[in-house]
Amino acid sequence: MAERPRVTPAQLRRRRVTALTVVGLAIAAAIVAVAVALPHSHKAAAPTTTVLPPPPKPFRIVFPEGFTRSTMADRVAAVAKIAERKKGKPVALARASYVRATKSLVIPCFAPHKQVKVEGFLFPATYDFLAKTTSKQLVTQQVKAFCANWKSVNMAYAHSKNLTPYDVLTIASLIQGEAVVESERATIAAVIYNRLHLRMPLGIDAALRYALEIPGTESIHQSQLQNQTPYNLRLHAGLPPTPINNPGLASIRAAAHPAKVDYLYFVAKPDKRHHFFTASATAFQQYLCAHGYGC
């Protein structure tokens, strides 16, 4: 057997260098291959974008200032019917469920918190609702809106006149029932304050209309003016037992901050929008005679 040639140290070093070079080149080639392939693999593995259907378009219900709980329930019935026709299927809102939801309310910003006489607390505004929105959820929105607006009103002056928050809310409803022109709200409030101070009957027929459910388009008959209901403010001094509607923020602010005038009387002018105000009973009577209200 032939003897294998001996490998010199120099040759051994050259072989090791060559081997390391080959391994290095192999690793570099692998890295390049991965780097080139990586973007393509990411692109292929990227999740597809899921196109979600648009959210359902809400319906809207408008409660004007001065609506009562009953007229709000009527509005709910009317709007629910329209929504059902557009949707093609029933919606959750209904008159009966709204009446049940407003039988008694918890008003977080008012004391006592639980109110069994809810007139005045159902804030008039525009509300969005979906087919699945319940009457209870709608009423919750109204109560939240009431508290948000109520908290913005400074009650210090009314408190100085020994009026409770509920008194202010009731006065606001009377203003809402009488005022048509924005600028007259605080003046009507002043008449109410002045009459309460003198213990004079307020004489505001809007309260009687509320109690006897007399539409604003109808005249009040003489027999109705003799009705002994505590809402007859011609016969009874002081405020009615409850608010007579659900007033807006402008009327609430006027009730808390009346104008500084000494007026005790007011009556609608012929335009049915503005009022004649006076502190004189004689001037008031003369105005009534001159404009055909009777003497």
| Cα atoms in the 13 Å half-sphere on the side-chain side of 131 | 12
Q: How far is CA 112 from CA 119, 247, 249, in A?
A: 15, 20, 21
Q: How far is CA 282 from the centre of its chain?
A: 44
pTM above 0.85, yes or no: no
pLDDT by residue, tens only, the chain of 295 residues: 445 556 565 555 666 655 555 545 555 555 544 444 445 444 555 566 777 777 888 999 999 999 999 999 999 999 999 999 998 999 999 999 999 999 999 999 999 999 999 999 999 999 999 999 999 999 999 999 999 999 999 999 999 999 999 999 999 999 999 999 999 999 999 999 999 999 999 999 999 999 999 998 899 999 999 999 999 999 999 999 999 999 999 999 999 999 999 999 999 999 999 999 999 999 999 999 999 887 7
Give the ranges where the chain is alpha helix by DSSP (H): 9-45, 69-87, 95-101, 135-150, 156-160, 165-178, 185-198, 205-212, 222-225, 249-256, 281-290
Helix (H, G, I), strand (E, B) or coil at 61: strand
Task: Specify which residues 201 forms β-bridges with.
Answer: 237
Q: How far apart are CA 155 and CA 175, in angstroms?
A: 16
What does the pLDDT read at residue 87?
87
Query: 85-90 long-range CB contacts below 8 Å, 24 or more apart?
Result: 86/59, 87/131, 89/131, 90/131
What does the pLDDT read at residue 216?
85
Helix (H, G, I), strand (E, B) or coil at 126: strand
Kindly report the three-state secondary structure assignment for every residue of 201-270.
ECCCHHHHHHHHCCCCCCCCCHHHHCCCCCCCCCCCECCCCCCCCCCCHHHHHHHHCCCCCCCCEEEECC
Q: Is the dihedral of CA 226, 227, 228, 234 positive or negative?
A: negative
What does the pLDDT read at residue 294?
73
**At 105, which helix (H) or strand (E)?**
strand 105-106
Q: Which of 153, 155, 181 is nearest to 167 (CA)?
A: 155
| Cα atoms in the 13 Å half-sphere on the side-chain side of 120 | 25
What does the pLDDT read at residue 27?
56
Q: How far apart are CA 175 and CA 166, in angstroms?
A: 14
